[in-house]
Structure 1
Amino acid sequence: MTHDPVNTWSGEFGDEYTQRCSPEEFRIRARTRLWSRWLDAFGTREPQTICEVGCNLGLNQRALQRLSDAELFAVEPNDSARDTLIKDGVLPQSHIRAGRGEDLPFDDSSMELVFTNGVLIHVHPDNLGQVADEMYRVSKRFILVSEYFNPDPVELVYRGMTDHLWKRDFAGFFLDRFKDLEVVADGFSWKRTSNLDNPTWALMEKRPA
């Protein structure tokens, strides 16, 4: 059986989510503080090409533009969110692609950093390996995941729906699946300062062959 929460996010439910999460300044400032911390973890190896899987209205891109000269790319299944990103001048049309984590529209090793922020939690466990494989394929060097944590996989009801939200050790999933990944830095994003719901994050790097 194929599980596809992406259909939910690309339709009316996703449109409503986009309206709730408008790119107000307080949200962008909170995300900027978060990215200041994450970029520090790279040291002198700050990536120059960055791709987000599931960007919605681009809070991360808007924050990164204040902090980095990196070339930014993103994949987003919701049409209205992509249109807003282009209209607001956040990303050029060529850099924001219609797509999904299971089939990223980018070449192998084409991005120095591939990341998610609150997206893997909405990927059905049956599809998580495929999304991880695609992120690994597109990443030239770094993978960053910021997601809800639980030591063991557990499903939660999300706005009255099942099959739409899971917690687990997502970074551990990547480390177990790809033996050449090592952790560069990790941490916890407290809701009071990050405007996120207390996720953990981990920056991982591909070790040279």
Structure 2
Amino acid sequence: MHDPVDTWAGDFGDAYTERCSAEESRIRKRTRMWARWLDSFGSREPRSILEVGCNLGLNQRALQQLTDAELFAVEPNDSARQTVLSDGVMDEAHIRAGRGEDLPFDTASMELVFTNGVLIHVHPDNLGQVADEMYRVSSRYILVSEYFNAEPVELEYRGLSGHLWKRDFAGFFLDRFSDLEVVTDGFLWKRTIGIDNATWALMEKRA
């Protein structure tokens, strides 16, 4: 099995970072998206947030405009992390080299752990391990925003096989962890948010 993370950590990931430059219009779209998501927390807004797979930090740039939460991120691509650092988005204490299967953070150390268009690139054989790590590091909330399909299906991605899958990702978490419950969920429509057509779900650990 070829691990897609190796692809993203190399030249392919470098090219993606160059295509997804931190233009103001891109950050505005993320800000609109996050304003909707943060409203879902009500008065329980998280005080620490970890993004798994941040690339050049578009979500982090948007979050900085909306919340006082302490922000953290994990990213396997060196050039993407360097962009985050050189742009002053985060410092080395808050963005770390790593991958979803082995998050370099303590158990229950983040109130919210999230992915945005990342789980779709995790090989199905590794998805359970990534979910376990996100669950371990989260003390309360998990949010996933990914392409949806009722049944797992693989699609070609930029001429590559074994690099993109659609499925019910939130359902995968709910089936795997019995104490997770959905707080709210929704659909991101490209016509209004302008990023991708994707479903999202905010889940909470309940006693």
Shift of 1:197: 1.8
Q: In the aligned structure 2, how far is the partner of 1:145 from the partner of 1:130?
A: 15
Query: What are the residue-to-residue correspondences of 1:116-195 with 2, within 5 Å?
Result: 116-195=115-194
- Whether the aligned pair in 2 keeps the contact of 1:3 and 1:126 (CA below 8 Å) is no
User: How big is each residue's C-alpha offset from its partner over 1:104-161, in whole Å with a ceiling of 9 and x where there is no partner?
Assistant: 0000000000000000000000000000000000000000000000000000000000
Q: CA deviation at 1:195?
A: 2.5
Aligned equivalent of 1:10: 9
Deviates more, 1:60-69 or 1:186-195: 186-195
Equivalent runs, 1:1-209 vs 2, <5 Å: 2-208=1-207
> 2:51 is paired with a residue of what secondary structure?
strand
Q: Distance in 2 between matches of 1:50 and 1:147?
A: 18
Q: CA deviation at 1:47?
A: 0.3
Note the alpha carbon deviations across 1:149-194, whole angstroms, 9 max, x for none.
0000000000000000000000000000000000001000001222
Distance 1:156 1:201 in 2: 20
Kept in 2, the 8 Å contact 1:189–1:199? The answer is yes
Secondary structure of 2:182's aligned partner? strand
Alignment size in residue pairs: 207
Percent of pairs with identical residues: 79
Q: Residue 70 of structure 1 aligns to which amino acid in structure 2?
A: A
- Give the CA deviation at 1:34: 0.4
Q: Which ranges of structure 2 fall in alignment gaps of 5 or more residues?
A: none
Other structure's SS at 1:18 match: helix
Aligned 8 A contact 1:109 1:139 in 2: yes
The amino acid that maps onto 2:21 is S
1:62 shift after superposition: 0.3
State whether residues 189 and 198 of structure 1, in contact with CA within 8 Å, keep that contact through their aligned partners in structure 2. Answer: yes
Return the letter of the residue paired with 1:24.
E
Residue 159 of structure 2 aligns with an amino acid whose one-letter code is G
Hey, what's the Cα distance between the residues in 2 that align with 1:15 and 1:3?
18
Q: Distance in 1 between matches of 2:22 and 2:199?
A: 22
TM-score where L is the length of structure 2: 0.99
Letter in 1 for 2:169: F
SS at match of 2:43: coil
Deviation track 1:17-60 (CA, whole Å, cap 9, x = no partner) reads 00000010000000000000000000000001000000001110
The answer for unaligned runs of 5 or more in structure 1 is: none
Cα distance in 1 between the residues matched to 2:87 and 2:161: 34
Query: Aligned letter for 1:51?
Result: L
What TM-score do you get using the length of structure 1 for normalisation? 0.98
The runs of at least 4 aligned residues of structure 1 exceeding 3 Å deviation read: none
Q: Within 2, Cα distance between the matches of 1:9 and 1:131?
A: 16
Give per-residue Cα distances to partners, 1:58-105, cap 9 Å, x unaligned. 110000000000000000000001001011110111110000000000
SS at match of 2:144: strand
Q: What one-letter code is carried by the residue in structure 2 that aligns with 1:203?
A: L
Give distance in 1, aligned partners of 2:2 and 2:51: 22
